[in-house]
Amino acid sequence: MSHEHIRVERDGAVATVVLNRADRRNALTPSMLLALRGIAEGFRDEPAIRAVVIRGEGAHFSVGADISQMGGETPPTVHLRRTAEAGALLMRALREIHQPTICAIQGIATGGATCIATACDFRLGTPETRIGYGEVKLGINLMWHALPLAIQTVGLSRAKTMVMTGELFDAQTLLDWGFFDRLVPEADLAAEAAALAQKYAALPPIAVQMIKRSANAYAGALDAAVMHADADQWLLATRTADFREGVTSFFEKRPPDFTGE
């Protein structure tokens, strides 16, 4: 599936998916989520591809969902709920890529971009990278069935710290927590990600892919059962005064005043 802000490069057995909206810090639009999902699902029919890299152009990997597209006319709730499930469907597609996946992260990654990173098997960053989940600052929950992956990546207490505060965390802290597998200079990030992908691409694909899928199935055995309602939680949260205050304060560039209403 093609998209003006996403391109797929192939180098032998390695495919690289590039977020290419650098002028908006690779902010993710609904159409980009749909395209990424199609690309991820498409690798099922490309057995010659043995490893996949996901990276972003420009100074930042991605600032997550494009908040500028929030607001406007509200569709019927039944349609809005289905739209709210788009992120979870993307996460499932990324998680179910048979081939090993590597996410290369420079600059900032927040919200949905951080979710995408945790859906990958391995993560490389730079010493300057900062990572966070900013949803709570908008008065909403973490969606996309991403909470279990956050917990599996950094552990329960650290995941709570990241998701409940919405703060950006520095690369060394996240390396110590296990979010990153390795930090490399930004100038070397793309080459290091490609080299890691080539390492996995050279291994026997049947064994590697079976191991990956079994490990993911074991680690996430209860994920769907527990997280099935996160879209409904989001619908509830977006009907609160705190959500309206969170979005308004973001655009007005001021601290929010949350009331619990």
Going along the chain from its start, the domains and CATH numbers come out as 1-185+204-261 (3.90.226.10)
Q: Which long-range contacts (CB under 8 A, 24 or more apart) does 158-163 make?
A: 162/131, 162/132, 162/133, 163/133, 163/135, 163/136
* Cα–Cα dist 55/35, whole Å: 15
Global confidence as pTM: 0.95
Nearest to 91 by CA among 128, 116, 68, 67: 116
Structure tokens that stand for 69 in this block: 């597209």
Helices and strands of the chain, counted as H and E runs? 12, 9
Q: What is the pLDDT of residues 180-235, one digit of tens each?
A: 999 999 999 999 999 999 999 999 999 999 999 999 999 999 888 888 888 889 99
pLDDT, one tens digit per residue, over 65-78 is 888 766 556 778 88
